[in-house]
Amino acid sequence: MRHRPRRLRRTAAIREGVRETRLHPGDLIQPLFFKEDLAESVPVPSMPGINQLPLDRAGEVARQSREAGLGGVIVFGIPARKDAEGSGAWNPDGVAQEAIRRVKEAAPELCVVADTCFCEYTDHGHCGVLRESGEVANDATLDRLARVGASQAEAGADMVAPSGMMDGMVGAIRKGLDSSGFPETAVMAYTAKYASAYYGPFRDAAESAPAQGDRRSYQMDPANAREALRELELDEAEGADIVMVKPGLAFLDVVTRLREAATQPLAVYNVSGEYSMIKAGAERGWIGERELVLETLTGFRRAGADLILTYHAQDAALWLQEMA
């Protein structure tokens, strides 16, 4: 036979030489959960290996992330007190702002992304201000999001990442950053964030489950793909620097569609449910954790993602270094 594809699979050296997709620790961003007034780390039961962290550990985890060669971290804050507006989210001395300052102090060169949303800060668990009807008031939320983004930039965030799927959120935050003296702070937009069943463990970690109702009126319908292109068009026009698809595994087709259409870097969020399923299978001995994690992350890169937000980041970086 003239054509034998197996010739290029015969040895590890040949396979490495012709490999089409590369995965590097610098492609990975580690989510971190900091809880106010916490004295020591608290494991998240539904996410083995992930903890709610006290602020005193911010420097330690920053140095670990830097030494692992990660592309960055994304900071989530859990305040001691919540209210209907989520006002703790823009408090200059809030838990996220203090965590950002401590991370940057310990590892100034580490890229720090700030979660810019309200679900961890509101007493109702939704991503914005509520009307009397219980519906999120889109435009009233935008002004508050701009305040949050500016306070996070002031604390030292390199990027802010609005995740609430409010119409016009990227433009409002961009305007707020520019007018507050932070024109160089980037916006990583959650461009296509779906109302997904994969978020359950995250809501344990971030203590952000809605007290009533759900988020289907503002997050995207998982059945829709073309709609993501419309969201991309809007985010581009409003000044997004990086665009994102969330979740990852069930939406690889959307990742590829956005990669083909977008000029900006593209991120994907390998979410909590995806993480916990692998952890549960590995704990039972049903799957090989290391092999499946690296295959999954490589799949995101192959689909077109430039950056991957993943709870596996620290472990995956270590494995990749061992394989180098």
Question: In this structure, what DSSP letter does residue 224 have?
Answer: -
Cis peptide before 247 (omega within 30 of 0): yes
Q: How far apart are CA 175 and CA 162, in angstroms?
A: 14
Task: Look at residues 285, 312, 283, 277 and name the one whose alpha carbon lies nearest to residue 298.
Answer: 312
**CA 132 to chain centroid:** 31
Angstrom distances, CA of residue 85 to CA of 10, 33, 82, 151, 170: 60, 21, 8, 16, 19
Residues 6+ apart with CB under 8 A from 74: 29, 30, 31, 32, 112, 113, 114, 115, 161, 309
Contact (Cβ atoms closer than 8 angstroms) between residue 163 and residue 193: yes
Task: Tally Cβ neighbours within 10 Å of residue 12.
Answer: 8
Q: How far apart are CA 231 and CA 40, in angstroms?
A: 40
Angstrom distances, CA of residue 47 to CA of 10, 32, 71, 163: 38, 13, 22, 21
**Active site members:** 193, 246
Pairing of strands 28-35, 42-43: unpaired
